[in-house]
Structure 1
Amino acid sequence: MGRWSVSILSAILGISALTFVCGFWGWDDGKRVVKVMSQPERLVYFGYGSNLKGTRLQVSAPSAKFEGIARLDGFKLAFTTPSRRWGGAAADVLEAHGGIVYGAMWSIARSELLAVDDQESVNQGQYFRDFQYVDELDSGFRSTGRKIKVLLYRVREPQPTLIPSKVYLRVILAGAKEIGLPPDYVHTISLIKTTPYDNETLYELFMGRA
């Protein structure tokens, strides 16, 4: 094989390798390496409230698959919108300097996105879709160095003084423990003041046991 043939072959192999890599990796505007989904029909959703619990998310997104734990910097967990179903305020993330929110990364089918919108009352103007970069974490809760672009939902008109119900916080804590969020973070959530409303039937439903 001649020298030019070798060069052409090397170039082709290089392009093929680059295509393979870009199928799994991308670059955001800040030139950070970003892990992306290799399947265009799916996206990564960041659950930080009741959707930490897989059986809760699978009510609207049956294909939801746990992909790991991540950290959202510059935000804090809050409860800012009334929920008739839960008898208290539902979860939100508010921008906060130095804030940290831990959550679950779920891959879901894009075809299920409208059903998740319905769960989050997007059409009623309660929540809106947002996209943020999160840090992927390893089993020791250390950053892997990979930034992942995720879908999350935020409250459109937050009321920061609201509090969640007892049953709602129970679901959040069950999900946080199940996926293995940092113990200190889980403990902090457990100390959040709640309304006395509890509902064992509702709890069992979202535990997947009803």
Structure 2
Amino acid sequence: MRTMPTVLNFAYGSNMLLARLRQRVPSARMRVVATLPGHALRWHKLGQDGSGKCDVLAVDDPQASVIGVVFEIALSDKPRLDAAEDLGVGYAEKEVDVQTHAGPVRAWVYHALRIDPAAVPFDWYKALVLAGAREHGLPPSYVDRLDATPSRPDADLARAARNFALLGASPDAATQSA
């Protein structure tokens, strides 16, 4: 049996939610929860829609880390994920060592190129990030920090509905829980 070449991707934002990631790359398989040391999670990546998206920012703080999920994806699917992440315009990528319960793992991670410190995520985006964090059992204190992030409603109701559909929730339900 011949295996397809794959790559490992460290997801820390909305791509942590398997339904979201598989919408983009059907071959995605969850491998392990991991921690990226020396980085801080920020919601300052300026999305094409004008809202804030997650970013991993390298910081000079030995206590800083970002928790996320390592996914294995078919190499043939990688261009689809690169396009969804607007590689080269919205995000760049770099190879990093993440820590897992079984030791270090080398994976690719996207990091923001377009930053706006005043950017605020849409409520549906924050809901996707939270759902992914909960889906993979990230520590409750980390999930609480994610949940404490301010968000705003999306004026594009069709886009909001499409994204909330991944959660099986309506925008009203997510707003009430946020």
How would you bin the TM-score normalised by the shorter chain? Answer: 0.7 to 0.9
What does 1:192-203 correspond to in 2, within 5 Å?
Answer: 192-197=149-154, 201-203=161-163
For residues 109-133 of structure 1, what are the alpha-carbon distances to aligned partners after superposition, in whole Å with 9 as ceiling and x for unaligned?
011111000000115x111111100
Displacement after TM superposition at 1:201 (Å): 1.4
1:107 aligns to 2:72 (yes or no): yes
Larger radius of gyration: 1
For 1:58, give the aligned amino acid. R
* 2:131 matched residue in structure 1: 174
1:131 aligns to 2:131 (yes or no): no
Q: Report sequence identity in percent.
A: 27
Displacement after TM superposition at 1:40 (Å): 6.8
CA distance in 2, matches of 1:134, 1:116: 20
**Aligned residue-pair number:** 163
Is contact 1:55–1:208 with CA below 8 Å preserved after alignment? no
1:51 aligns to 2:15 (yes or no): yes
Runs of 4+ with >4 A deviation: none
For 1:89, give the aligned amino acid. G
**TM-score when scaled to structure 1?**
0.71
1:95 aligns to 2:68 (yes or no): no
Cα distance change of structure 1 residues 122 and 177 upon mapping to structure 2, 3 Å threshold = same
1:152 aligns to 2:112 (yes or no): no
Instruction: Give the one of 97, 100, 116 matched to 2:81.
Output: 116
CA distance in 2, matches of 1:204, 1:148: 32
**TM-score when scaled to structure 2?**
0.83
* Structure 1, unpaired ranges of 5+: 1-38, 138-143
Is contact 1:134–1:148 with CA below 8 Å preserved after alignment? yes
Instruction: Give the one of 72, 80, 84 matched to 2:36.
Output: 72
Q: CA RMSD in A?
A: 2.1
For residues 41-67 of structure 1, what are the alpha-carbon distances to aligned partners after superposition, in whole Å with 9 as ceiling and x for unaligned?
011111100001011111121010011
* Structure 2, unpaired ranges of 5+: 170-178
